[in-house]
Amino acid sequence: MSFESLGLSPALLRATSERAYLEPTAIQAQAIPAALRGMDVLGCAQTGSGKTAAFALPILQRLADTRRDRPRRVHALILVPTRELAAQVGDTFRHLAQYLPEPLKIAVLFGGVSINPQMMGLRGGADIVVATPGRLLDLVEHNALRLGDVQTLVLDEADRLLDLGFADELARVLEELPARRQNLFFSATFPPAVQGLADHLLRDPVRIEVEAEPETQPDILQRAIEVDTAKRTPLLRHLIKEQGWTRVLVFVATKYATELVTHKLSLAGIHAQAFHGELSQGARTQVLSDFKASRLQVVVATDVAARGIDVARLPAVVNYDLPRSAVDYTHRIGRTGRAGQSGVAISFITPDAEAHFRLIEKRQGLRVPREQIPGFEPVEVAAPVADVNGGIKGKRPSKKDKLRAAAARGGSSST
């Protein structure tokens, strides 16, 4: 199948060619025709499978067909969970739209920066808005834009949009939208909360679930190395040197851990920077720019970096701390092995983390052989579980899980 066979305009075909889109991916081949017909779409495909173009191309095609020197109103709204993903999606739209006969105004809106330039940029309206929910609501409250003309709503990385802190904002955004609209939901994972929201919002959707085929499966070697808690940083230094990684993304659990591990790596002469949600937007942008340009060897990050960050030819990801869920594991390791490249994803398995990693394996349907590195063999034993009602993290719904579910129910009943 070719992009020409999907019915895209010559201008969009030229843009796809320049971005080296040789042929549609599985998610694009199924989603684009359905979206062009105006149907709702529920799309689930692995990270790095081309989901952004799967919704951007039909949106641009339909807008190009209908826009004729009319006042600019927001016709397409794309909601994303992070600043980095907003910037990435906005760049994709701009590149794909560059040859359209009538230019479209694409606004990218997110917090962490002054709201005033964004308000100024919205003067005269916008055709497409890519936004995080919180900043979008701020701008609506400032009367900088209206959402009553939105024809297409996209939830990109829909599962994260229902995380604690996003669900209430999403419900408020939905209240601003017209009842009659096209809805496109895309994500690499669809947990029950997202499925529940989709069931309430989507009208007879085309359901697309693309399983990774052997030829499209990301080439990611997954490794699990057993190590004591106190030896993780020395092991990380050893692997960086032994493997010769020019760049590596290291995931930890907390902001404090990003700074502590970064400090220890820096003392060893390794050029590292912390990356977490409390950094200013300018600092986050600079860290990513330096990392992509190989001016940084290591970025130590919380899960804020697990979505929407596309670093070409990133050779390795390390789970210094295990992610909270199997969903987060998927997105973490998906930062490597992108766009046909190979990569390695290493998880440090401390004795206390073994049970949690087994749960991740079970939910992922995989088994990663355990390894031990000479000189770093673990001697610790797992601490006994004192509270018999506690169980393994993720084994039963946590308080946060219950809040997410409640927020999702509230969001889904608002329209």
Q: What are phi and psi of 54, to 5 degrees?
A: -65, -30
Are 191 and 305 in a shared domain? Answer: no
- Sequential DSSP letters for 58-110: HHHHHHHHH-SSPPP---EEEE-SSHHHHHHHHHHHHHHHTT-SS---EEEE-
Neighbours of 68 (CB within 10 A): 6
Q: Is residue 386 included in any domain, yes or no? A: no
- The total number of structural domains in the chain stands at 2
Range of the domain at 105: 4-213+408-412
How far is the C-alpha of 184 from the C-alpha of 117, rounded, in Å? 29
Beta bridge mates, 343? 220
> Does residue 384 sit within a domain?
no
Residue 301's nearest CA partner among 327, 326, 331, 325 is 331
Q: Are residues 130 and 209 in the same domain?
A: yes
Dump the DSSP string for 226-272.
Answer: E--GGGHHHHHHHHHHHHT-S-EEEE-SSHHHHHHHHHHHHHTT--E
pLDDT score for 414: 37
Phi/psi at 156 (5° precision):
-100, 135
Distances (CA, A) of 396 to 307, 361, 363, 402: 25, 16, 13, 10
Please check whether residues 194 and 223 belong to one and the same domain: no
Q: Which residues pair with 370 in a beta bridge?
A: 224
Nearest to 90 by CA among 9, 24, 154: 154
Q: Is residue 158, in this structure, part of any structural domain at all?
A: yes
In-domain check, residue 96: yes
One-letter amino acid identity for 26?
A: A
- Give the CA-trace dihedral at 119, 121, 124, 126, to 10 degrees: -100
How far apart are the C-alpha atoms of 128 and 72, rounded to whole Å?
9
Q: Strands 248-251 and 298-301: what pairing?
A: parallel
Residue 108 lies in a domain: yes
Question: Are 160 and 44 contained in the same domain?
Answer: yes
Element (H, E) at 198: helix 192-201
CA distance 401 to 104: 40
Assess whether 184 and 301 both reside in one domain.
Answer: no
Helix and strand totals (H; E) in the chain: 15, 14
Same domain (yes/no): 165, 287: no
Q: Are 165 and 183 found together in one domain?
A: yes
Same domain, 297 and 189: no
Query: Based on the domain organization, do 191 and 265 belong to the same domain?
Result: no
pLDDT of 188 reads: 74
- Asked, for residue 79, whether it belongs to a domain, the answer is yes
Q: Say if CB 360 and CB 189 are below 8 A apart.
A: no
Cβ atoms 296, 270 nearer than 8 A: no
Cα–Cα dist 97/103, whole Å: 7
From residue 64, how far is each of 6, 75, 107, 146 by CA, in Å?
16, 11, 17, 21
Say if 48 falls within a structural domain: yes
253 and 312 housed in the same domain: yes
pLDDT tens track for 271-298: 999 998 888 878 888 998 899 889 999 9
Residues 6+ apart with CB under 8 A from 98: 15
Residue 235 forms part of a structural domain: yes
pLDDT at residue 21 in the model = 80
pTM of the shown model = 0.66
Do residues 93 and 130 make contact, with C-beta atoms less than 8 angstroms apart?
A: yes
Q: What residue ranges of the chain have pLDDT lower than 50?
A: 213-216, 386-395, 399-400, 409-415
- CATH number reported for the structural domain that contains residue 8 in this entry: 3.40.50.300
Residues 17 and 163 in one domain: yes
How much is the pLDDT for 166? Answer: 78
> Do 119 and 141 form a contact (C-beta atoms < 8 A)?
no
Q: Is the dihedral of CA 44, 48, 51, 52 positive or negative?
A: positive
Say what the pLDDT of residue 70 is.
Answer: 66
**Length of the chain, in residues:** 415
Interval 25-45: pLDDT, tens: 889 999 999 999 999 999 987
Indicate whether 107 and 32 sit together in one domain.
yes
Per-residue pLDDT, 58: 96
At residue 397, the pLDDT reads 54
HEC-encoded secondary structure of 316-363: EEEECCCCCCHHHHHHHHCCCCCCCCEEEEEEEECHHHHHHHHHHHHH
pLDDT for position 394:
45
